[in-house]
Amino acid sequence: MPFEVPALPYDYNALEPHIDEQTMHVHHDKHHQAYVDNANKALEGTEWADRSVEAILGNIEILPEDKQAPVRNNAGGHANHSLFWEIMSPDGGGEPSGSLGAAIESTFGSLDELKSAVNDAGVKRFGSGWTWLIHDGTGLAVQSTPNQDSPWLDDDAPLLGIDVWEHAYYLKYQNRRPDYLAAWWNVVNWDAVQKQYDKAVGS
């Protein structure tokens, strides 16, 4: 099955005023579609075409050499954006509860500490990339990746990721990436992040 762009689980304007409708249209319909199209083109006719995007990224070193860069960029872009739409919600914000909330508190001290670490990594990412909360197999960590590099490349499970490419925020925030990052937490869908956490810890 070739990859497909998943439908947004809310309307394009649902994340206003934090993320504007025009950005959501261009980002979801154009940018994500291009990653999907290019990933499918790179994998077409190979034995990899039917594998999950996580499995492909986690084993990228055994792909033919000429496929590795396009797959890293485009299957990575597909995985990253599929998660991104999922972990946002018009009913978002607030605080995580349950096992995720407890893990955040024990790892970072507080939710505010986690937000600061994620935002700081996102502000410091030079050029384009992502800032992440991941589970590395032993616990939670914050990291940033360049371009469309996915945490799955290192077998880390992404739980929450914020896109800091300019295409994610420029129409509304222009050069003010820190303002975008600060506003983003108003739309975080903690229930969806909890689901990723549950998968990562195998519960």
Distance of closest approach, residue 111 Cβ to Mn ion, in angstroms: 25
Residue showing the smallest CB distance to Mn ion in the complex: 163
Length of the chain: 203
Q: Can you say whether residue 128 is alpha, beta or left, with left for phi > 0 and alpha for psi between -120 and 50 degrees?
A: beta
Region near Mn ion per CB under 5 A, out of 46-54, 137-145, 159-167, 192-200: 159-167
Instruction: Output the smallest distance, CB 32 to Mn ion, in A.
Output: 7
Which token pair is 131? 């800032």
How near is the Cβ of 28 to Mn ion at its closest, in Å? Answer: 9
Site size toward Mn ion (CB under 5 A) is 3
For Mn ion, the closer CB: 48 or 184: 184
Of 33 and 59, which has the nearer Cβ to Mn ion?
Answer: 33
Torsion of CA 104, 87, 55, 121, to 10 degrees: -60
Closer to Mn ion by Cβ: residue 78 or 135: 78
Q: Which residues pair with 129 in a beta bridge?
A: 146
Q: How far is the CB of 29 from Mn ion (least distance, A)?
A: 12
The answer to whether 103 and 141 have CB atoms below 8 angstroms apart is no
Within residues 162-201, the interface with Mn ion by CB under 5 A covers 163, 165, 168
Is residue 182 a contact partner of residue 120, using CB atoms and an 8 Å limit?
no
Tell me if 173 sits within 8 A of 79, measured CB to CB: no
Contact residues for Mn ion, defined by CB under 5 A:
163, 165, 168
